[in-house]
Structure 1
Amino acid sequence: MSLELNERQGVIVYLYHLKNSRQLRRFGTIHYVSRKMKYVILYTDRIKVPETVTRLSGMRYVRKVMVSPLPDVEISFADTVGKMYKLTDEDREKYKNNKE
């Protein structure tokens, strides 16, 4: 018996009224509801995202639907750290003096 993990992706749904936010449960797992800005963050299987977005866009109580770009963003910064910061001559001298 093996556990299969499905890749999930966030979908941000802006609503006209929050009373309809409970109906979004059938599209995925509701992660957060903002009462002030009237939006819901829900997570659904990555395979079903295009279908879910088209179905949500057709709902009357939905103002706007956005897909979270987080899975497409590179999170590893190991290569960029050395490129962003370069020691100046003054910093090198301080570093050498502290070693001695």
Structure 2
Amino acid sequence: MFRDRIGFIVWINDVKAARNLEKYGHLHYISRRLHYAVLYAYAEQEEELAKTLMRLPYVRKVERSYRNEIRTEYNHNVPDQTRFYTF
């Protein structure tokens, strides 16, 4: 039903020119202070999109975001220690 999406961290030289990244995917965030942008696109376009972005004159570096690969489900094997903190 939903297509897999992947995130890119695009390091940029010019913040105003970074607004043009909207035509390559969903532009989520632009950091004016650190000069990077977060861009989401479909996973099947990953390699060709990275090459296309590197050809742009205002792009310094393109990194893939590993946010969707981080484990977010935790198991609770630690015993409950709330009884030690009550009076």
Which range, TM-score by smaller chain? 0.7 to 0.9
Matched, 1:47 2:72: no
Larger Rg: 1
Number of aligned residue pairs: give it. 84
**% identical aligned pairs:** 28
Cα displacement string for residues 55-93 of structure 1 (whole angstroms, at most 9, x for unaligned residues): 111222101111100122222112xx31xx368xxx7xx
In proportion to residue count, which structure has more strand? 2
Question: How many angstroms apart in 1 are the aligned matches of 2:38 and 2:9?
Answer: 5
Residue number in structure 1 paired with 2:21: 24
TM-score computed with the length of structure 2 as normaliser: 0.82
Matches within 5 A, 1:69-88: 69-78=66-75, 81-82=76-77, 85=78
Letter in 1 for 2:52: R
Question: How many angstroms apart in 1 are the aligned matches of 2:74 and 2:47?
Answer: 30
Structure 1 residues without counterparts, runs of 5 or longer: 96-100
Letter in 2 for 1:60: P
Give 2:64's match in structure 1, choosing from 67, 73, 80.
67
RMSD: 2.1
In proportion to residue count, which structure has more helix? 1
Residue number in structure 2 paired with 1:15: 12
> How far apart are 1:54 and its partner, in Å?
1.2
Question: How many angstroms apart in 1 are the aligned matches of 2:79 and 2:22?
Answer: 50
**Contact kept in structure 1, 2:30 and 2:37, CA below 8 Å:** yes
TM-score computed with the length of structure 1 as normaliser: 0.72
Point out 4+ residue stretches in structure 1 off by more than 4 angstroms. Answer: none
Structure 2 residues without counterparts, runs of 5 or longer: none
